[in-house]
Amino acid sequence: MQTATLDYTDLANQPKYIQDYIAQRAANHEGLTPQELFDEISDHLKDSPNEIMDFLKDYGDEIAVQISHIQSKHTHPELSGDPDNIVLEVSGGDYGYPNQARQENPISNAEAEQIIQETNDYAMQIENQYTDDLPSNLAPEQGSQNFTPDLAASNDLAISNNYDGLAESIYTGMESLAQSLGLACTYAIMRTYGPRIIALFRYIVHHREELIRSHSQREKLVRDCIVPLIQAGDADQVGSAFIVGLLLSLIPGIRELLIAYGLVSLCKLAMKHIKKFVVHLEKHFPRLAS
């Protein structure tokens, strides 16, 4: 398995949206640096931006990880940003909200050990969710079942084994596209489109020869999968343009179909940014680009 040689425990080597999110969380605790907060996260999550975000998430999910203080920052404001005074604590759902219930009371040594153990266990749950995690939500439910890749194919196994690397390369291209449009490529967009784009990429890799040879297969892909995806209620310009650009770059002969379905403007938006995706893939994950 080919992997990048970057030290992922260094926040500077994470995608920009991870850096920004960690900095946003750290900024709520005066004196705490983003890297110090990042150091509190289990290292085994740091090779995956998806795992990091699903672990830290605080965007309305039932379970989230909070930054709790051993000595309350209300009674000891000078320790608010001291990394030795914080623990990451799982809250919500069956965990309850112990940080809020505690109010200004300090965390005892025994309680701190329990919190650390529960958080480590939760981190491992996140890790296990992404083991051999094969995306299937390429398109709305009515079309997605038609495009299930053969998991025995060697290229598909390479994609499965490098899932996070492929996601990182996709983000690089999508971030470039978003910046050219004056838009933000948020985690919400990546969370929605990342698995869809990976599923599409896997399908194209597995069926590329058939798609090149058969006009009917190309039309089926565009009509039954791509058009419903782009017209879905959660459709986003950045994600839609990236998907159409990916089709154009990987499947010769599909341009006429994209024009016929009124998607050519999305192609023009995306093409140079698809090139950045491919360059990033070739540089960091050559097995996927072969």
Query: Could you read off the pLDDT of 59-112 as tens digits, one per residue?
Result: 444 667 889 999 998 899 899 899 999 999 988 777 778 888 888 899 999 998
The residue type found at 126 is I
| Same-domain check for residues 154 and 211 | yes
| Same-domain check for residues 176 and 253 | yes
| Same-domain check for residues 104 and 179 | no
Q: Tell whether the model's pLDDT for residue 155 goes beyond 50.
A: yes
Domain extent, residue 259, equals 141-289
Write down the pLDDT at residue 49.
Answer: 76
Residue 226 has what DSSP assignment?
I
Tell me the C-alpha distance between 159 and 167, whole Å. 10
Residue 221 makes CB contacts below 8 A (sequence gap 6+) with 147, 203, 211, 247
What's the average model confidence in pLDDT over 212-233? 85
| Same-domain check for residues 69 and 193 | no
What's the average model confidence in pLDDT over 30-49? 89
- pLDDT tens, position by position, 166-200: 777 788 788 888 888 787 777 777 777 877 888 88
Tell me the C-alpha distance between 274 and 286, whole Å. 16
| Structural domains of the chain, count | 2
Contact 171, 185 (CB under 8 A): yes
C-alpha gyration radius of the chain? 22
Contact 45, 55 (CB under 8 A): yes
Write down the pLDDT at residue 15.
Answer: 78
- Is residue 4 a part of any domain in this protein? no
Count CA atoms within 13 Å of residue 266 on its CB side.
Answer: 26
Closest CA to 196 of 265, 153, 246: 246
Closest CA to 250 of 216, 283, 224, 288: 288
- Is residue 73 a part of any domain in this protein? yes
- pLDDT tens, position by position, 201-211: 878 877 888 88
- Is residue 6 a part of any domain in this protein? no
Residue 95 makes CB contacts below 8 A (sequence gap 6+) with 63, 118
- Domain boundary (107, 129, 151) is at 129
Write down the pLDDT at residue 142.
Answer: 30
| Same-domain check for residues 45 and 172 | no
Closest CA to 57 of 147, 166, 191, 149: 191
Mapped onto helix, strand or coil, the DSSP state of residue 23 is helix
| Same-domain check for residues 116 and 151 | no
Q: Is the pTM of this model over 0.75?
A: no
Percent over 70 (pLDDT), the chain: 75
| Same-domain check for residues 273 and 155 | yes
- Residue whose entry in the numeric block shows the structure tokens 């053969």: 150
